[in-house]
Amino acid sequence: MNSTDLSKFNNDWFDIGRNKIVVLLWYIINAVVFNSYLLPVSAIKRVILRFFGAKIGKGVVLKPKLNIKYPWKLHVGNHTWIGENVWIDNLDVVEIGNHVCISQGALILSGNHDYSAVSFELIVKPIKIEDGVWIGAKSIVAQGVICRNHSVLGVDSVACDDMEEYSVYKGNPAVKIRDRHIV
């Protein structure tokens, strides 16, 4: 590949959404406060996220070692639980509804690259996790996916396509294995 081809590796179209100083400040706070065990208090973390532009509902629990790429692209409803070692890689908007559980080690991944193009272009799409969804431990929700109301993504599964409401999914790629009945 010559130098002309290398110029194609350009994602200038991508808008982070804030200036470099705000982004740098967020990276430092994310590392010290969120992606650590230093501050286990969810109430303070909610205030910090709101300060950086996140829309955070009431009673949201934010466990230690949480990694959030851009809080200004994050919306979280009421009484949602985000577990330890969760990574919200939100290059695009990630909407998380009410009464959602995102278990330990889950990855919410709104960006990817076009492996079929020589330019390996960045592709970003929003993710929506609706009310009552449970994302199992060490699972992945890929870009553009909608996890519909009360769906479940089993442990260590990968959601590459939308999930139907009141359904349980498992595997890589995740497939529906049964209906979810809530009593």
Which domains, from first to last, does the chain contain? 3-179 (2.160.10.10)
Residue 119: what pLDDT?
83
d(CA 140, CA 138): 7
Residue 174: what pLDDT?
98
- Contacts of residue 134, defined as CB under 8 A and 6 or more positions apart, other chains included, come to 100, 101, 103, 151, 152, 153
d(CA 86, CA 89): 9
3-50 pLDDT tens trace: 444 445 567 788 899 999 999 999 999 999 999 999 889 999 999 999
Q: Which pTM was predicted?
A: 0.93
DSSP secondary structure letter of residue 107:
E
CB 167 within 8 A of CB 183: no
Ranges under pLDDT 70 in the chain: 1-10
Mapped onto helix, strand or coil, the DSSP state of residue 20 is helix
H helix or E strand, kind and range, residue 170? strand 167-170
